[in-house]
Amino acid sequence: MDTNAPRPAGARRVYTAEHEMFRTQVRRFFEREIVPHHRDWERAGIVPREVWLKAGAEGILCPMLAEEWGGAGADFGYSAVIMEEIGRTNATGVGFPLHSDIVVPYIEEFAAPEKKREWLPRMARGEIITAIAMTEPGMGSDLKAVKTHARRDGSDWVINGSKTFISNGQNCGLVVVVCKTDPGAGRRGISLICVEEGTKGFAKGRNLEKIGMHAADTSELFFDDVRVPAGNLLGEENAGFSYLIRNLPQERLVIAIRAAASMEAMLERTIDYAKGRTAFGQTVFDFQHNRFKLAELKAQSVMFRAFADQCLALHMDGGLSIEMAAMAKLMGTEMQNRLLDDCLQMHGGNGYMADYEIGRAWADARVGRIYGGSSEIMKEIIARTL
Between CA 151 and CA 153 the distance in angstroms is 6
Single-letter residue type at 316: M
SS3 at position 25: helix
Nearest of 30, 12, 122 to residue 82 by alpha carbon: 30
Euclidean distance between CA atoms 231 and 84, whole angstroms: 36
Rounded distance between C-alpha atoms, residue 169 and residue 204, angstroms: 7
Is residue 68 annotated as part of the catalytic site, yes or no?
A: no
- As a whole number of angstroms, the distance between CA 44 and CA 37 comes to 11
Distance CA 193, CA 66 (A): 22
Strands 174-180, 130-133: pairing kind: parallel
Q: Which residue of the set 33, 42, 251, 264 is catalytic?
A: 251
- In the chain, count H helices and then E strands: 12, 10
Beta bridge partners of 156: 153, 229
DSSP assignment string, 248-262: HHHHHHHHHHHHHHH
Distance CA 172, CA 231 (A): 20
Question: Dihedrals φ, ψ of 354, to 5°?
Answer: -65, -20
> What does DSSP assign to residue 336?
H
Residues contacting residue 81 through CB under 8 Å, at least 6 positions apart: 15, 19, 22, 23, 26
| Sign of the torsion angle spanned by Cα atoms 290, 292, 295, 300 | negative
Query: In sequence order, what are the beta bridge partners of 133?
Result: 177
CB 176 within 8 A of CB 110: no
**What does the alpha-carbon distance between residue 98 and residue 120 come to, in Å, rounded to a whole number?**
15
Which among 107, 15, 92 has a CA at the least distance from the CA of 62? 107
Active site residues: 251
